[in-house]
A = this chain, B = another copy of it.
Amino acid sequence: MINPMFNKLVIIGVGLIGGSFALALRQAGLVKQIVGIGRSQANMQRALDLGVIDEIAHHPALAMQDADAVLLAMPVGQTADIMAKIAPYLQPETVITDAGSTKQDVIAAARTYLDKHLKNFVPSHPIAGAEHSGVNAAQANLFHNKHLIITPLEETSDTALARVTALWQGCGAQVSEMQADEHDRLLAATSHLPHLLAFTFMNYLCTNIGNDPDQLLRFAGSGLRDFTRIAGSSPEMWHDICFSNRETLLTQIDAYQHTLSSLQKMLEDSNGPALKDLFSEAREARRNWFKDKI
């Protein structure tokens, strides 16, 4: 095993993401000791039994002692609260990263609570996940060849950036840098808005169609099945993401409705050529974007 770059890593929230981070870094030989903190003692004990972590910490003070790095991997809604709790105990050299799906709100919390440690904070978002959660679902290769977006602050030090990049690359992730607002706009477009629209479509079907569900189901094809698949996602998780990225999402809902209204008007005005052109552009765009994926 190569000489570990990190003697002590603290993971707050040892679930799918935090647990996979631990397993990957241990496998890569980058970390010597891994300490976990979490709400569910059953889950923490399981993490210990599985060898995902070496130790359970019950108070931030002890956990942060001599910590080289901290990963915030609890639900994004708890970020501000956790930062406030750990800030007093952070060491001058401890680097901090997170795994939140939205970045501007996490950065706002960091600016409020991390104070002089802000330079050591490197906001991150791994584009990886699974339908299962908890440490039992953790896997060493979860981030392997997956994208990881880092949205550094002006204040972020080169040292912190380099060390956190090394951690994620050690997990096998492909690290890209981006501005936080661009990240939130990009993810709103490719992930948050589609989820909201799929949930909306199912609500529309339930509330606006007179036929009973069985009737609808009988004649529904694979098109509807795939179009609504993401409406089967976790309401709690998507509630948090919608509010974490609220402003950006509201702007994009407006823009989408504007586009929908313009197609609607083409149909109202019986402007067939214009509608067919838009359909063709849409198909072309999708084929270009996904030609390697389908």
Residues of A near any B CB (own CB < 8 A): 127, 147, 149, 176, 182, 185-187, 189-191, 194-211, 213, 215-221, 223-236, 238-239, 242-243, 246, 249-250, 252-257, 259-261, 263-264, 267-268, 270, 272, 275-276, 278-283, 285-290, 293-294
Contact = CB atoms under 8 A, between A and B. Distances in A.
Question: For chain A, what secondary structure do more than half of its interface residues adopt (helix, strand, loop), or is it mixed?
Answer: helix
A189 B213 contact: no
A282 B225 contact: no
Given A259-B208, A267-B243, A286-B228, A235 B203 contact: no
Contacts of A208: 189, 252, 255-256, 259
Contacts of A227: 194, 197-198, 226-227, 229-230
A216 B283 contact: no
Contacts of A216: 186, 189-190, 289
Contact of A224 (B194, B201, B210, B228): B194
Nearest to A218: B147
Contact of A239 (B189, B211, B238, B279): B279
Contacts of A234: 283
B206 A285 contact: yes
Contacts of A186: 209, 211, 215-216, 219
28 contacts: A127-B221, A147-B219, A149-B219, A182-B211, A185-B209, A185-B211, A190-B219, A194-B201, A194-B223, A197-B201, A197-B227, A199-B278, A200-B259, A208-B256, A213-B285, A213-B288, A223-B230, A225-B290, A225-B294, A228-B286, A228-B290, A231-B282, A231-B286, A234-B283, A235-B279, A242-B267, A243-B272, A250-B268
User: Quick one: copies of this chain in the complex?
Assistant: 2
Given A194-B201, A263-B199, A264-B253, A213 B289 contact: yes
Contacts of A236: 276
Given A229-B223, A268-B250, A204 B279 contact: no
A228 to B, nearest CB: 5
Contacts of A230: 223, 226-227
A47 to B, nearest CB: 27
